[in-house]
């Protein structure tokens, strides 16, 4: 058998499909329905576009409704709210930037005269008081203290002013204008209706405050460094008091005895005499003293505290002994840890 090729044998060529003259493609290839693809694709695009246009129209209508409601019910209150905040923020920044205040009190001022009045109380650090943003953040994070209770007054916390009235700020209205999401605008509309019903009376009451009490801390607490205290008359827009005060407070534990009532056993441990409440009451007592109201004082808090430690050491070995006599420094069981307004500064 010979491996030589016959020269007369035709050369092999690769098979190629013959195109169909009518279809313009090989007959075995599937036919792609381009016409229907284009038609259905166009219909989908038109549907999406129509939906987007409809949603945009709904969002525009809802935005118009929100802004119209705002203008109709809240426009004047918003102007009052913004002006009120700007006024107390300006006073706060000026007070903090002026350094240590020169002690001054309006001779007509009596703290007891503020008992029946409405006020606003703001406490923050000097660093926070350097800008409007810092003041707003400090107000929103403000916690309760004993200072106003020891003064015997009950001003509203600035935290309520900033939290409750946030919908009256220009930022709220700007957000409504910029929002194009229908669901977000619908939520804002529902919230606005609730604000008008519930929060507007509260904010209107706060804007009617008669005085503004400001405490600027020189440190993170009111124990280690002094605080600057300011008081303004909001109706006449004039300052009533400014002073720097160093807290020097102690708590005076008292044990009471009543006829026919068995004495309570002594409390365990040493009573905390220099709590935060004691320092707040010390600041309050010094403020009262500035206005001519005599504060309760003791000769020396350190001596009193040392005497209590000595008394406790003397009583410790006598386990099971009778309760201390009337006037002993140990507090009765169940006595509140919070300082009474009578807590006083020790010189």
pLDDT score recorded for residue 20: 58
- State both tokens at 270: 């040493």
- Closest of 254, 253, 243 to residue 284, by C-alpha: 243
Is the predicted pLDDT of residue 74 greater than 80, yes or no?
yes
**Helix (H), strand (E) at residue 71:** helix 34-97
**Residue 57: pLDDT band with limits 50, 70, 90:** confident
Is the predicted pLDDT of residue 277 greater than 80, yes or no?
no
Return contacts of 78-83, CB within 8 angstroms, 24+ apart: 78/168, 78/169, 78/170, 78/173, 80/207, 81/165, 81/168, 81/169, 81/203, 81/207, 82/168, 82/169, 82/170
3-state secondary structure labels for all residues of 135-161: HHHHHHCCCCCCHHHHHCCCCEEHHHH
Question: Which strands make up the sheet holding 119-125, listed edge to edge?
Answer: 104-105, 238-245, 227-233, 211-217, 119-125, 156-157
Place of tokens 């044998």: 9
Rama region for 295: left / alpha / beta (φ>0; ψ in -120 to 50; rest): beta
Which tens digit of pLDDT belongs to each residue from 317-346? Answer: 544 444 444 444 433 333 344 444 444 444
Stronger pLDDT, 298 or 206, i.e. the higher one:
206
Q: Taking CA 231 as the corner, what is the angle to CA 343 and CA 206, rounded to the nearest 5 degrees? A: 100
Pairing of strands 119-125, 238-245: unpaired
Whole-prediction pTM: 0.68
Is the predicted pLDDT of residue 60 greater than 60, yes or no?
yes
Which tens digit of pLDDT belongs to each residue from 170-225? Answer: 999 999 999 989 999 999 999 999 999 999 999 999 999 999 999 999 988 888 88
Name the average pLDDT for the chain. Answer: 79
Which tens digit of pLDDT belongs to each residue from 214-266? Answer: 999 998 888 888 999 999 999 999 999 999 999 876 666 666 777 777 877 76
């Amino acid at each position: 058998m010979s491996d030589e090729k016959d020269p007369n044998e035709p050369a092999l060529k690769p098979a190629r499909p013959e195109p169909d003259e009518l279809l313009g493609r090989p007959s075995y290839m599937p036919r792609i329905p381009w016409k229907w693809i284009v038609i259905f694709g166009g219909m989908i695009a038109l549907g999406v576009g129509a939906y987007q246009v409809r949603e945009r129209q709904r969002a525009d209508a809802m935005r118009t409704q929100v802004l119209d409601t705002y203008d109709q019910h809240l426009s004047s209150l918003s102007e009052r709210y913004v002006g009120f905040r700007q006024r107390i923020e300006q006073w706060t920044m000026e007070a903090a930037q002026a350094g240590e205040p020169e002690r001054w009190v309006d001779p007509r001022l009596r703290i007891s005269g503020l008992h029946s009045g409405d006020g606003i109380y703001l406490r923050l650090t000097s660093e926070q008081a350097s800008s409007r943003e810092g003041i707003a953040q400090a107000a929103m994070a403000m916690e309760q203290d004993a200072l106003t209770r020891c003064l015997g007054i009950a001003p509203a916390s600035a935290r309520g002013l900033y939290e409750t009235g946030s919908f009256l700020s220009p930022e709220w209205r700007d957000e409504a204008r910029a929002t194009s999401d229908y669901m977000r605008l619908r939520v804002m509309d529902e919230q606005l209706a609730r604000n008008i019903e519930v929060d507007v009376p509260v904010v209107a009451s706060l804007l009617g405050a008669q005085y503004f009490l400001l405490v600027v801390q020189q440190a993170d607490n009111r124990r280690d460094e002094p605080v600057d205290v300011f008081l303004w008359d909001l109706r006449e827009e004039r300052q009533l008091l400014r002073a720097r005060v160093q807290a020097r407070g102690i708590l005076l534990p008292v044990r009471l005895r009543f006829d026919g009532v068995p004495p309570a056993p002594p409390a365990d441990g040493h009573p905390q005499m220099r709590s935060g409440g004691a320092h707040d009451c010390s600041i309050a007592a010094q403020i009262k003293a500035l206005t001519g109201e005599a504060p309760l004082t003791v000769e020396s808090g350190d001596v009193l505290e040392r005497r209590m430690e000595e008394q406790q050491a003397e009583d410790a070995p006598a386990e099971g002994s009778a309760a201390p006599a009337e006037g002993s420094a140990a507090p009765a069981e169940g006595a509140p840890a919070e300082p009474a307004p009578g807590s006083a500064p020790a010189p």
